[in-house]
Structure 1
């Protein structure tokens, strides 16, 4: 989720993609979604990449269940094509700070749901605003729908913000604010939120001290075990320049940590 307020992803598209098809569903998925919707085939999708990496240890291809995260910069999306080519889940940017809604959220949310792609919403946290305000803003703009994946809190520094860009609270304050947001949002949606973060943020703020939630870790040149040590993770963002049929332009691509059966169980347990 490297796109921040006012910044677009800029990348040239090149390459034709040869991809493996995937299926997908969860116990409480909304109308038009079946149990098959949360399942993936046993073969990892062969997504392309505008800036490919030569993986020196375990490659993302070792994991069979893949998905995307996106914002207004990838609108519109042909969700049925994306699903047919291996997109087993999507996390969609909804809000930033206490007063911004991503212009692509509503369309992506409807489109993914209609195509039977399990999807969740994420909030980009602003460090110069209180957690209570930001939690309320997310709740005001993200529907509480059966079948939704858990909400996500995107934790990075606000480098692009003219007001928050240089502000760096101490690690104890960071973790306290994060916990406040997680508690408020978790109670509202009756779900345990996920936290997404980056190597520098993880290390500086000792995010391993927070427990009890799924972790989504960014590592675009190495396996998470080489970047985050023995930290347990559920999702791995392995590229910000993925090329996926049905999606316009480069997009963040991610792997789930388990098998297709584990994914189906996770969805069944963690959807609303």
Structure 2
């Protein structure tokens, strides 16, 4: 997978060749509803390839790409800037889709915080045949933090209702004890390049040539990082998925059947470990916007904060939100800047005004950058944010999913032209 230069990509080494797993394809066959095992070629992409538009996706599909994994998030606050654009392009071409999160335990983030961020950025894809994935390549001693990965996977499973895959290199499998993850039926997407970094292509690479135990088999294999994919590029990560469309749908819990993992999962009814930070007011407004979904996912994502936040939500919806100013109290709220954010957008999202009550690292409120932390230190005498008039776009949405047959009129009304790309956080009239 391709990430920014500060990330150590452990998949770029050359894992040792080990005896092939003789039962791999037979194990994959068991997962299928039909009696014949099929497999497909695909790719994984991020912002470094740019948006894979509808036309580019169509070329990739014609060239053999049946699926694609798309980077959506990283750490606790970063969202890939072209993820939604690519997801729309892939969907238009009929390419099956997965979304992945790049784990950053090295930044001190809890797995619950990162899982919640991923879910908040991908909620629009739940139930739409999309497979969630944890990209595990933190490097160094963090590779052994299998407990961190397990907690992330558990939390995302509770919110999505399906079990994510986990991606790692063949060498990282041997760096830690992955039995708890494998025994919980989280599928493996393994990376390893026995042919090195010479130009490759979408093809059938055969069985995985590495020992993937404690997993019984790999769900997918990234066999090269230098594949040529028509319409996308010449140095693309190319993959082989051990299954067909029906298998994919089962992993995603989509219409072709239930989750393909041996133990079907359902959203948890009780709070999980960890909880979002922030003041009750901003969390309540985020719930009302839909950032925390419906029950039981909302209870899971809010964790130990659920009771106090939901009580405030109920007050607001009942028309009991205080409108008078409250004196003698102060608020200190820390917010991680998202891609595309402005300070006004953050103030609107949190309901904390005026802008003069916010402090930013640069000292200039017009200069903030993704990943930075901005802090509200004003008193509670601030006014409420002005009401947003229109629809706020969420991840996974398109003009069609929002407006149906009225999509073209909505595009004209909002000044959106072909290829009609919209972005999370955008307000549509």
Select which of 92, 107, 117 maps to 1:114: 92
Select which of 93, 118, 122 maps to 1:142: 122
1:245–1:7 distance in 2 versus 1, CA, 3 Å: farther
More helix by share: 2
Residues 94, 123 of structure 1: 8 Å contact kept: yes
Greater relative contact order (Cα 8 A, min sep 6): structure 1 or 2? 1
**1:157 corresponds to 2:141:** no
**1:215 corresponds to 2:188:** yes
Instruction: Structure 1: state its 5+ residue gaps.
Output: 9-56, 159-165
1:58-84 deviation per Cα after TM superposition (whole angstroms, max 9, x unaligned):
9xxxx8510000101112330011111
* Count of aligned positions: 207
Question: 1:13-162, aligned counterparts within 5 Å?
Answer: 64-77=39-52, 78-128=56-106, 129-145=109-125, 146-158=127-139
**1:200 corresponds to 2:171:** yes
Residues 74, 249 of structure 1: 8 Å contact kept: no
Select which of 245, 248, 271 maps to 1:267: 248
1:139 deviation in Å?
0.9
1:136-164 deviation per Cα after TM superposition (whole angstroms, max 9, x unaligned):
11011113333232200011124xxxxxx
Residues 219, 227 of structure 1: 8 Å contact kept: no
**1:225 corresponds to 2:203:** no
Whole-angstrom CA distance in 2 between matches of 1:234 and 1:139? 22
Whole-angstrom CA distance in 1 between matches of 2:50 and 2:158? 31
Residues 3, 48 of structure 2: 8 Å contact kept: no
Whole-angstrom CA distance in 1 between matches of 2:227 and 2:98? 19
1:241 deviation in Å?
0.5
Corresponding residue number in structure 1 for 2:157: 186
Taking structure 1 as the reference length, what is the TM-score of the superposition? 0.69
Corresponding residue number in structure 2 for 1:21: none
Deviation >4 Å, runs of 4+: none
Residues 122, 151 of structure 1: 8 Å contact kept: yes
Whole-angstrom CA distance in 2 between matches of 1:218 and 1:170? 14
1:231 deviation in Å?
4.2
> CA RMSD, aligned part only?
2.6
1:169 deviation in Å?
4.0
1:107 deviation in Å?
1.0
Whole-angstrom CA distance in 1 between matches of 2:250 and 2:39? 19
Whole-angstrom CA distance in 1 between matches of 2:176 and 2:136? 10
Residues 218, 224 of structure 1: 8 Å contact kept: no
Taking structure 2 as the reference length, what is the TM-score of the superposition? 0.45
1:90–1:196 distance in 2 versus 1, CA, 3 Å: same
Whole-angstrom CA distance in 1 between matches of 2:62 and 2:82? 22
Corresponding residue number in structure 2 for 1:245: 230
Report the 3-state secondary structure (helix = DSSP H, G, I; strand = E; otherwise coil) of the residue aligned with 2:100. strand
Question: Higher Cα Rg: structure 1 or 2?
Answer: 2
